């Protein structure tokens, strides 16, 4: 986990740059080699898709570390809290 806000911001920006550039290059690559794509072209296209997914992972990690998104395990349900309070009072 990256502890600094600046580091997480940089990670998020790099993730956005990775995602946008890989997606744009992938679209251009598919359009220009539509009918004549060989095995090497498919491998390179797969690598561009992997880079775009990596960029999304960077963005997700930065969002988690910055607290922009709540984790599911940290969200408490009201019914559990109410149930514990009721059980403690003996009602």
Residues 4-36: tens digit of each pLDDT: 999 999 999 999 999 999 999 999 999 998 888
Q: Give the pLDDT confidence score for residue 31 in this predicted structure.
A: 92
Kindly indicate the confidence band of residue 73, based on its pLDDT and cuts at 50, 70 and 90.
Answer: low
Q: Is the pLDDT of residue 80 over 90?
A: no
* Residue 25 burial (CB count, 10 A): 15
Residues in CB range of 71: below 8 A, 6 or more apart: 64
Tell me how far apart the alpha carbons of residues 66 and 5 are, in angstroms, rounded to a whole number: 7
Q: Give the pLDDT confidence score for residue 75 in this predicted structure.
A: 57
């Amino acid at each position: 986990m990256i502890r600094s806000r600046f580091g997480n911001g940089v990670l998020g920006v790099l993730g956005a740059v990775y995602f946008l550039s890989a997606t744009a290059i992938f679209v251009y690559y598919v359009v220009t080699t539509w009918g004549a794509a060989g095995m090497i072209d498919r491998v390179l296209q797969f690598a561009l898709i992997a880079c775009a997914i990596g960029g999304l992972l960077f963005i997700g990690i930065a969002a988690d570390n910055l607290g922009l998104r709540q984790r599911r395990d940290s969200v408490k349900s009201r019914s559990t809290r109410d149930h514990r309070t009721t059980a403690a009072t003996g009602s």
